[in-house]
């Protein structure tokens, strides 16, 4: 039988905020683009997010946050990703994140940050183009 | 409203027009789209005429302002008497910071306070809880104990202001703290005025800040309604909220129908406590969003008022006209704000605010133009408040009551909104009520579908959002925003204060009163009196919520995409 | 050491990342998956494999969370595979079962994996069976498979699980019909969840009366247990019954059951391999494409087409 790889994506919401409209719309758009999307619901700790990514062996993690706690939570998530050796996972983020914070987030390994109003097509395209190479 | 002969004549003339003038024009100037629809999916006609409201009966359907069915407004003179309350949501950092902002807003002419709490407070966690990491004071003010509440309202006499508190799961605890501050200031409880949002039902499908499962959540909301009816006559115990339903992606119609249904559920639940409908219904209040589609929003507000009046009269047999009043607070829609070209948001907010005013709202919050990027700066908040003042004092729209009444379009749309909302209400009734619909994921599915459809329309440019999918500026745009940031020290200071409170209070007394609370919760008593006792002993919000978590369990969300 | 050997080593040591990678290889039909399974096979057969099925809304995921907690209290290592459907239109899937179990995901001795059916029918995925083997070989004492939950056609689980739990809940309306139609025979244990609701006793009686019709001569009489997944009520009893069933299998029918399981697996493997070789052949000849076009044009239906193809092309064989 032919080998059939599917793109697996974890959409995760760290922090306490409950604005999941964007996360869900993105999850649905990625699913409709043929991906397998794991959504773990609101208020996930960095530990839970990274542990889920590991067990589900996802290719991509999308983090959504609107509470402003990204500066406290994203570095912790990226640290855990390194710690667990998830070198073949691409991470992107979305939500309300001030422009001036973005360079710092990219420095710690977040590939892209999408603000409000990003078309879902753009996110799908981004995921497809930046899929980590896996052997 | 029109006699039959006249309608027939109009019909004949319309048909003639459709066969002569119209095709001639369209053949040279085709319309922009094949069909026009509003957010709720209702088809918008090319032109409205008396035919569209021929069944309307002025006295039955509109009446006079201040009289049933209140379509034209709750008060006889509306804004000719008093302008709506300009209430701006505020709160960030420590209690001291927000206290300062409150005093600033009062000095700028604002007439009511509105408190935003940070996420740990909203979820019933103290500032030192592990889940609170990075969130303390970020999206609102942190309140963990009565100490914080005392500082928050320091120097603000509680009998001179009204305070709205955006809090749901832990509403009883925050209200108890407010009552305790009032007691300390020597303000009689019957003089305390304000609102607790306290609408736990919508949390399950809209705002998703749920602590407990649906049934105990409804019980806690009802506790507050009952307690206020008996002891805090000027307090609005609940603000039945469509705003969050809308922001979660619902259409105007769904917002209207689901909010009113939540209202029905609260009334039913309070009636079970042995109160009469007229004992508490006058203090129920509502909270809606005002979105981009100007006329759709106006029609929604008018239909909401008329439909609620009918429900109270016909379904619950209210006698007091005030029980039939739908008093509403409106906020312009946060999810319409764009990060791109942020100054455009001032214009959006103006149009939305105008719709709320023409819809007859009692109070209004206007969003700040920078809110898609960060917490609003003082400058942005001022512009938002000025927007309301310009509408109130310069535009002239406040000088007559319900100026759009009688517009063929507005009245037809108001009727359609009401009819379709009734269909939803019927459907939810058949499902077994609000909690059954929540457990089935009905609301969740409806909203998720609308949210997705809306986004697809934007992606496919079927819906134009200026600066986002059309009229964009090439390259990275830079707007020199002064971004308000909460100092990370806030978290440290807040935790230090909390620990000091825990050291200095009488811990034996705290233990006692928490045990008493546990017992009361198991006995299914109204918890308000015990919670007031607990906060006065400086039991913290986290401790009180933890007791209730033990008794009621924690809610795990039902994911519907 | 080759990459696959490394993964095998990790799986046998219970390393979570290796387990995850192994399951991915299996799901993707990677050529390495066969090698991997050959290596781990001799380490399987120790775990108690529990299938959990029942209609949507019966509270499967919530109950599983409580079951896992209970097993953890007893010191057992647990694996969970939660299956959700793949959309036949887009090939995508939304996997949301683990949300109810998220607090368990950081437990060192719990491994949870969501799996899309990738259009496999019968309530599980094609890869589920082999993923269970990986978890088994990794040292898990209990492995729970949650099926899609679409109702009657979910009988595939019986080929994988030692014990099948069928969950029902009052107030689901006609779903009891689904249980009658298909799930009745496969249940080793019935659960009536949401037992704090009215009509719970009626649901129990319904199941009892159906059982009386069906299971007159069976050595194992499926018990009916009432649970409230939200509070965990009845879960201890459920675990006791599962343990009883496991012992029962071991004692009396273990050999038979595993023989029939082995048979089912062998038959499945033959089916898959023959089907694949036939399809490959047809594809190479171009016949497949030809017939597909006819089906698309509605000139022939797929079932008749298959019948005709097999008759014409493989007469001699």
Name the pairing type of β-strands B112-115 and B85-90: parallel
| Contact residues, chain C, for A124 at CB < 8 Å | none
> Who contacts B292 (Cβ-Cβ below 8 Å, separation ≥6)?
B39, B333, B336, B348, B351, B352
* Mean predicted confidence (pLDDT) in A106-135: 90
Domain tally, chain C: 3
Residue A25 C-alpha, separation from nearest chain B C-alpha, in angstroms: 6
Asked if B255 and B245 touch (Cβ cutoff 8 Å), the reply is yes
Angle, alpha carbons C46-C50-C52 (nearest 5°): 165
Minimum-distance CB partner of B557 among A15, A16, A41:
A41
Note whether B553 contacts C100, CB cutoff 8 Å.
no
Residue A42 C-alpha, separation from nearest chain B C-alpha, in angstroms: 8
Q: In what order do the strands lie in the sheet with C163-168?
A: C110-116, C78-84, C142-146, C48-53, C163-168, C189-192, C224-226
- Is the pLDDT at A7 greater than 90? The verdict is yes
pLDDT of the residue at C255: 60
Average pLDDT, chain A: 91
Residue C259 lies in a domain: no
Residue C247 lies in a domain: yes
Give the pLDDT confidence of C16-26 residue by residue, as tens digits: 999 999 999 99
Asked if B41 and B424 touch (Cβ cutoff 8 Å), the reply is no
- Is the pLDDT at C277 greater than 70? The verdict is yes
pLDDT of the residue at C175: 52
Give the pLDDT confidence of B404-424 residue by residue, as tens digits: 999 999 999 999 999 999 999
- For chain A, how many residues are written? 135
Domain CATH code at residue A35: 3.40.50.280
Q: Of A108-117, B351-360, B453-462, C267-276, which gets the smallest average pLDDT?
A: C267-276
Name the pairing type of β-strands B193-196 and B162-165: parallel
Residue A27 lies in a domain: yes
Residue B127 C-alpha, separation from nearest chain C C-alpha, in angstroms: 21
Same domain? C85 vs C126: yes
CATH H superfamily, domain B58-459: Methylmalonyl-CoA mutase (3.20.20.240)
> Who contacts A66 (Cβ-Cβ below 8 Å, separation ≥6)?
A17, A19, A22, A95, A96
pLDDT of the residue at C213: 72
Q: What are the residue ranges spanned by the domains of chain B?
A: 58-459
Please, which residues 243-262 of chain B have a Cβ atom closer than 8 Å to chain A? 247-249
Q: Which of B297, B425, B308, B374 is nearest to B74 (CA)?
A: B308
pLDDT of the residue at C292: 84
- In this complex, is the C-beta atom of B483 within 8 Å of any C-beta atom belonging to chain C? no
Minimum-distance CB partner of C102 among A4, A34, A48:
A48
Residue A39 lies in a domain: yes
| Contact residues, chain B, for C96 at CB < 8 Å | 559, 561
Asked if B527 and B547 touch (Cβ cutoff 8 Å), the reply is no
Residue A50 lies in a domain: yes
Distance separating alpha carbons of residues B218 and B261, to the nearest angstrom: 13
Residue C258 lies in a domain: no
Same domain? C298 vs C193: no
Distance separating alpha carbons of residues B353 and B256, to the nearest angstrom: 18
Domain CATH code at residue C109: 3.40.50.300
Look at phi and psi of residue A68 and say left if phi exceeds 0, alpha if psi is from -120 to 50, else beta: left
Alpha carbon dihedral C19, C23, C25, C29, in 10-degree steps, equals 160
Give the pLDDT confidence of B483-508 residue by residue, as tens digits: 667 788 888 999 999 999 999 999 99
| Contact residues, chain C, for B556 at CB < 8 Å | 62, 99-100
Same domain? C19 vs C113: no
Residue A3 lies in a domain: no
Domain tally, chain A: 1
pLDDT of the residue at B480: 56
pLDDT of the residue at B207: 87
| Contact residues, chain B, for A94 at CB < 8 Å | none
* Mean predicted confidence (pLDDT) in C186-191: 91
Segments of chain B scoring below 50 in pLDDT = none
Alpha carbon dihedral B7, B8, B13, B15, in 10-degree steps, equals 110
Three-state secondary-structure class, residue C49:
strand
Q: Of B160-174, B279-293, C206-220, C270-284, which gets the smallest average pLDDT?
A: C206-220
Residue C257 lies in a domain: no
Residue holding tokens 């909301």?
B221
Give the pLDDT confidence of C34-43 residue by residue, as tens digits: 999 999 999 9
| Contact residues, chain C, for A36 at CB < 8 Å | 86, 92-93, 95, 114, 116
Minimum-distance CB partner of A68 among B139, B372, B468:
B139
> Who contacts C306 (Cβ-Cβ below 8 Å, separation ≥6)?
none
Q: Which of B553, B552, B549 is nearest to B129 (CA)?
A: B549
pLDDT of the residue at B375: 72
| Contact residues, chain A, for B456 at CB < 8 Å | 120
ipTM: 0.93
Same domain? C13 vs C85: no
Domain of residue A114 covers: 8-126
Q: Which of B108, B177, B106 is nearest to B142 (CA)?
A: B177
Domain of residue C60 covers: 44-252
DSSP line for B284-348? EEEEEEE-S-HHHHHHHHHHHHHHHHHIIIIIS---SGGGG--EEEEEE-GGG--SSSTTHHHHH
Same domain? C135 vs C233: yes
- Optimal mutation site among B136, B169, B337, B339, interface A, most CBs of chain A within 10 A: B339
Same domain? C95 vs C198: yes
Which residues of chain A are at the C interface, by a Cβ-Cβ cutoff of 8 Å? Answer: 1-6, 8, 27-28, 30-41, 44-45, 47-48, 51-52, 54-57, 84-86, 135
Cis status of the peptide bond prior to B69, with omega within 30 of 0: yes
In terms of C-beta density within 10 A (0-12 exposed, 13-18 middle, 19 or more buried), how is residue B490 classed? buried
Minimum-distance CB partner of C92 among A5, A32, A40:
A32
Grade residue C309 by pLDDT with cuts at 50, 70 and 90. confident
- In this complex, is the C-beta atom of C58 within 8 Å of any C-beta atom belonging to chain B? no
Note whether B440 contacts C231, CB cutoff 8 Å.
no
Note whether C92 contacts A2, CB cutoff 8 Å.
no
Residue A63 lies in a domain: yes
Residue C221 lies in a domain: yes
Give the pLDDT confidence of C129-152 residue by residue, as tens digits: 999 999 999 999 999 999 987 655
Residue holding tokens 């004992």?
B279
pLDDT of the residue at C149: 78
pLDDT of the residue at A84: 94
Chains A, B: CB pairs < 8 Å:
100
Distance separating alpha carbons of residues C126 and C156, to the nearest angstrom: 10
Residue C149 C-alpha, separation from nearest chain B C-alpha, in angstroms: 15
Grade residue C173 by pLDDT with cuts at 50, 70 and 90. low
Distance separating alpha carbons of residues C104 and C266, to the nearest angstrom: 35
Structure tokens at C172: 């689901």
Residue C261 lies in a domain: no
Residue A135 lies in a domain: no
* Mean predicted confidence (pLDDT) in C196-203: 83
Note whether C95 contacts A36, CB cutoff 8 Å.
yes
- Optimal mutation site among C97, C114, C171, C199, interface B, most CBs of chain B within 10 A: C171
> Who contacts A78 (Cβ-Cβ below 8 Å, separation ≥6)?
A91, A108, A109, A110
> Residue A135: how many CB atoms within 10 A of its CB?
4
Residue A123 C-alpha, separation from nearest chain C C-alpha, in angstroms: 16
Helix or strand run (H / E) with residue A112: strand A112-114
């Amino acid at each position: 039988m032919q080998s059939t790889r599917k793109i697996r994506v974890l959409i995760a919401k760290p922090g306490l905020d409950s604005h999941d409209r964007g996360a869900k719309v993105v999850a649905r758009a990625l699913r409709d683009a043929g991906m397998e999307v794991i959504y773990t619901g609101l208020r996930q700790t960095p530990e839970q997010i990274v542990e889920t990514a590991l067990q589900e062996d996802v290719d991509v993690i999308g983090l959504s946050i609107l509470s402003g706690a990204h500066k406290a939570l994203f570095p912790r998530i990226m640290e855990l990703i390194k710690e667990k050796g998830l070198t073949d996972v691409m991470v992107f983020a979305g939500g309300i994140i001030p422009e001036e914070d973005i360079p710092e987030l990219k420095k710690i390994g977040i590939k892209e940050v999408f603000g409000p109003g990003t078309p879902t097509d753009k996110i799908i395209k981004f995921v497809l183009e930046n899929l980590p190479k896996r052997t | 409203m029109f006699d039959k002969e006249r309608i027939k004549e109009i019909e004949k003339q319309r048909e003639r027009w459709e066969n002569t003038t119209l095709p001639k024009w369209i053949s040279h100037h085709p319309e922009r789209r094949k069909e026009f629809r509003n957010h709720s999916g209702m088809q918008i006609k090319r032109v409205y005429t008396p035919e569209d409201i021929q069944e309307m009966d002025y006295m039955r359907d509109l009446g006079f302002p201040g009289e049933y069915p209140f379509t034209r407004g709750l008060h006889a003179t509306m804004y000719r008497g008093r302008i709506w309350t300009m209430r701006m949501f505020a709160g960030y950092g420590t209690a001291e910071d927000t206290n300062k902002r409150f005093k600033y807003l009062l000095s700028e002419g604002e007439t009511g306070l509105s408190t935003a709490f940070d996420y740990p407070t909203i979820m019933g966690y103290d500032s030192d809880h592990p889940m609170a990491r990075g969130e303390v004071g970020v999206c609102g003010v942190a309140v963990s104990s009565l100490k914080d509440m005392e500082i928050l309202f320091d120097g603000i006499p509680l009998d001179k202001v009204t305070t709205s508190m955006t809090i749901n799961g832990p509403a009883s605890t925050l209200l108890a703290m407010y009552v305790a501050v009032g007691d300390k200031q020597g303000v009689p409880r019957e003089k305390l005025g304000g609102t607790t949002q306290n609408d736990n039902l919508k949390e399950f499908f809209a705002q998703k800040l749920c602590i407990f499962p649906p049934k105990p959540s409804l019980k806690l909301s009802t506790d507050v309604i009952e307690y206020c009816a008996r002891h805090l006559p000027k307090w609005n115990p609940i603000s039945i909220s469509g705003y969050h339903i809308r922001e979660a992606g619902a259409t105007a119609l769904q917002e209207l129908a689901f909010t009113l249904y939540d209202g029905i559920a609260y009334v039913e639940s309070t009636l079970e406590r042995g109160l009469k409908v007229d004992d508490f219904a006058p203090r129920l209040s509502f909270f809606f969003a005002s979105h981009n589609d100007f006329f759709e929003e106006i029609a929604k507000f008018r239909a909401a008022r008329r439909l609620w009046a009918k429900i109270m009269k016909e379904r619950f047999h209210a006698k007091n006209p005030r029980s039939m009043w739908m008093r509403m607070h409106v906020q312009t829609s946060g999810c319409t704000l764009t990060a791109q070209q942020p100054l455009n948001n001032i214009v959006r907010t103006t149009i939305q605010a105008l719709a709320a005013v023409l819809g007859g709202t009692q109070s209004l919050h206007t969003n700040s133009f920078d809110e898609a990027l960060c917490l609003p700066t003082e400058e942005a908040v001022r512009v938002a408040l000025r927007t309301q003042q310009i509408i109130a004092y310069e535009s002239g729209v406040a000088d007559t009551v319900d100026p759009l009444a009688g517009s063929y379009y507005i009245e037809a749309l108001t009727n359609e909104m009401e009819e379709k909302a009734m269909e939803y209400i019927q459907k939810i009734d058949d499902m077994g009520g609000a909690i059954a619909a929540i457990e089935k994921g009905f609301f969740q599915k409806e909203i998720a579908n609308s949210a997705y459809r809306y986004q697809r329309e934007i992606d496919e440019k079927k819906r134009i959002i200026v600066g986002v999918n059309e009229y964009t500026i090439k390259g990275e745009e830079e707007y020199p925003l002064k971004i308000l940031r909460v100092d990370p020290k806030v978290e440290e200071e807040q935790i230090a204060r909390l620990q000091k409170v825990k050291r200095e209070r009488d811990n034996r007394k705290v233990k006692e009163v928490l045990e008493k609370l546990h017992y009361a919760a198991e006995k299914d008593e109204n918890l308000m009196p015990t919670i007031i006792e607990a906060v006065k002993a400086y039991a913290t919000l986290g401790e009180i919520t933890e007791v209730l978590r033990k008794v009621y369990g924690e809610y795990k969300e039902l994911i519907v995409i | 050491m080759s990459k696959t050997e490394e993964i095998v080593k990790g799986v046998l040591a219970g390393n979570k990342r290796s387990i995850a990678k192994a399951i991915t290889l299996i799901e993707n039909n990677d050529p390495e998956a066969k090698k991997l399974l050959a290596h781990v096979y001799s380490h399987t057969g120790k775990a108690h494999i529990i299938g959990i099925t029942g209609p949507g809304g019966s509270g499967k995921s919530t109950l599983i969370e409580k079951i896992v907690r209970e097993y953890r209290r007893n010191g057992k290592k647990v694996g969970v595979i939660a299956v959700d459907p793949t959309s036949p239109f887009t090939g995508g899937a939304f996997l949301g079962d683990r949300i109810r179990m998220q607090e368990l995901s950081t437990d060192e001795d719990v491994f949870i994996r969501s799996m899309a059916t990738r259009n496999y029918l019968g309530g599980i995925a094609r890869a589920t069976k082999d993923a269970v083997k990986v978890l088994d070989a990794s040292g898990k004492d209990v492995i729970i498979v949650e099926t899609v939950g679409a109702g009657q056609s979910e009988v595939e689980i019986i080929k994988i699980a030692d014990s099948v739990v069928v969950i029902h809940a009052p107030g689901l309306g006609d779903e009891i019909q689904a249980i009658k139609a298909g799930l009745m025979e496969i249940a080793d244990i019935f659960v009536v969840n949401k037992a704090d609701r009215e009509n719970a006793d009626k649901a129990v009686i319904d199941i009892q009366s159906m059982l009386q019709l069906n299971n007159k001569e069976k050595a194992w009489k499926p018990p009916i247990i009432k649970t409230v997944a939200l509070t965990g009520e009845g879960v201890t009893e459920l675990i006791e019954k599962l343990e009883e069933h496991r012992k029962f299998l071991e004692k009396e029918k273990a050999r038979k059951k595993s023989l029939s399981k082995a048979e089912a697996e062998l038959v499945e493997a033959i089916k898959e391999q023959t089907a694949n070789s036939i399809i490959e052949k047809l594809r190479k000849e171009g016949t497949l494409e030809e017939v597909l076009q006819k089906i698309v044009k509605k000139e022939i239906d797929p079932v008749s087409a298959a019948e005709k193809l097999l008759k014409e092309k493989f007469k001699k064989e």
